Amino acid sequence: MSEAFPNIPKIPFEGPQSKNPLAFKHYDANQVVAGKKMKEHFRFAVAYWHAMRNSLADPFGVGTAQRPWDDGSDSVDNAKRRVWACFEFMDKLGVDYYCFHDRDVAPEGKTLAESHSNLDAVADELLKAQQATGKKLLWGTACLFAHPRYNQGAATSPNAHVFAYAAAQVKKAIEVTHRLGGEGYTFWGGREGYATLWNTDIKREVDHLAAFLHMAVEHKKKIGFKGPFYIEPKPREPSTHQYDSDAAACLNFLREHGLMEHFKLNLETNHATLAGHSMWHEMEVAAAAGVLGSVDANTGDELIGWDTDQFPTDIYLTTKMMLVLLRTGGFTTGGLNFDAKVRRESFEPVDLFHAHIGGMDAFARGLKIADAIRRDGRWDQFRSARYSTFDSGIGAKIEAGTTNFEELEAFALANGEPVIASGRQEMLENLINEFV
Ligand code: XUL
Ligand code: CO
């Protein structure tokens, strides 16, 4: 196959002074920051569905994307050509990982058996491309939301036949992910929720979802797939309400149904803001529960109320994200997957490069800033000092669980009004601005 991006060289690191739009200003893959190479901190991934399959259509207009390597057909041959375009893209960009849905990489057939065999054929090609380039699969997933059969859900469909069909699709997608050496597998339930409560039995639907995931865990063990399962929270869109609405809702669901040990979370920035949270909040909630698994790195428009999946360029955002990742030791199997699309106006192939370069540079800056904040130490010290009354005396007893209401009442009666310290929000914001 001829090159998909013939006029674009491998993207070099040229440093902050460079004016070259096709160069990294901050992302230097092998530069060591906080004890690890940048590429090991981030484990960047290209999202196949956006980079290779998004036509850039929106609810008001058809697609605009120019993708000369793609003949627009649903043939397996076209799907195989796309594989090589994607791997050339990753190679020129210097990204080591990709993520896919089954139906992004291979066309849905007329029957399930045909869909399975299409997927197998393209998986052979993916394996060849992985072997030729050393690129790896961060995670795979199944598209359980595009086909009309899933219009009322997949694992939460009111129809048991649809549930079975979805199970068959997920079974196959896990097997293919395993064959490709995928490091994880994601469940995003776009239609696992409801459009209206007039027709919905929440209890039955959520129980069905749990049963589905238990069977997935059982199958993963059966085939020896060792990577983690991730749940990706999102509050709505396309459904009115999605059961995995945010990190806390996922944690509650996983605990209630005995699934906690088998799942981590794959958090996405735009989903966090749609849920009325910051990504920082979602990451802290997941980290506190020990399930911060992977990240779909994007951002949303503050003024548009839907999932715009834009590339992350906000240095404050990436700084906060990297602060959490540095504190928790960073990714093991997960990484930063650019679940983001170029704008409809940015229709040329080179725009895919600009977008990813910008995201990678934004995270590189975030990492360097977060590392500087941590090395400076004032921020960390302030946060720990704020809780110092729990380090000894009655506070230490509270944390150790060795006191009770009687003793606390006696303490309060004997010690008068508590003397509390200022929260110093503005001082801390100023402190962070010394580094950004
Ligand atoms: C949709 C979304 C998905 C998941 C994978 O909003 O984020 O692409 O990441 O199914
Ligand atoms: Co996502």
Tens-level pLDDT at each residue, the chain (436 residues): 789 999 999 999 999 999 999 999 999 999 999 999 999 999 999 999 999 999 999 999 999 999 999 999 999 999 999 999 999 999 999 999 999 999 999 999 999 999 999 999 999 999 999 999 999 999 999 999 999 999 999 999 999 999 999 999 999 999 999 999 999 999 999 999 999 999 999 999 999 999 999 999 999 999 999 999 999 999 999 999 999 999 999 999 999 999 999 999 999 999 999 999 999 999 999 999 999 999 999 999 989 989 999 999 999 999 999 999 999 999 999 999 999 999 999 999 999 999 999 999 999 999 999 999 999 999 999 999 999 999 999 999 999 999 999 999 999 999 999 999 999 999 999 999 999 9
Q: Is 175 in the pocket of ligand 1 (CB under 6 A)?
A: no
Q: Quickly list DSSP for 369-382.
A: HHHHHHHH-HHHHH
User: Using N-to-C axis directions, what is the helix angle for 349-376 and 76-93, rounded to 10°?
Assistant: 40
Which CATH superfamily does the domain covering 32-376 fall into?
Divalent-metal-dependent TIM barrel enzymes (3.20.20.150)
Numbered ranges of CATH 3.20.20.150 in the chain: 32-376
Buried b (16+ CB within 10 A) or exposed e, 167-200: bebbbbbbbbbbbbebbbbbbbbbbbbbeeeeeb
Which amino acid is it at 373? Answer: I
Instruction: Indicate which residue's Cα is closest to atom 8 of ligand 1.
Output: 339
Three-state DSSP class for residue 195: coil
CA dist 85 and 81 (Å) reads: 7
Of 270, 280, 246, the C-alpha closest to 339 is 270
Model confidence pTM above 0.95: yes
pLDDT of residue 382: 98
pLDDT of residue 218: 98
Q: Is 234 in the pocket of ligand 1 (CB under 6 A)?
A: yes
CA dist 207 and 218 (Å) reads: 17
- Closest atom, ligand 1, to C-alpha of 234: 6
Q: Say whether 104 is catalytic.
A: yes
pLDDT of residue 305: 86
User: Are the C-beta atoms of 183 and 136 separated by less than 8 Å?
Assistant: yes
For the chain, helix, strand, coil in percent to 5 are 50, 10, 40
- Closest atom, ligand 1, to C-alpha of 237: 6
The contacts of residue 433 (CB under 8 Å, 6+ apart) are none
Q: Say whether 101 is catalytic.
A: yes
Of 252, 215, 249, the C-alpha closest to 233 is 249
CA dist 209 and 217 (Å) reads: 12
Of 425, 273, 351, the C-alpha closest to 64 is 351
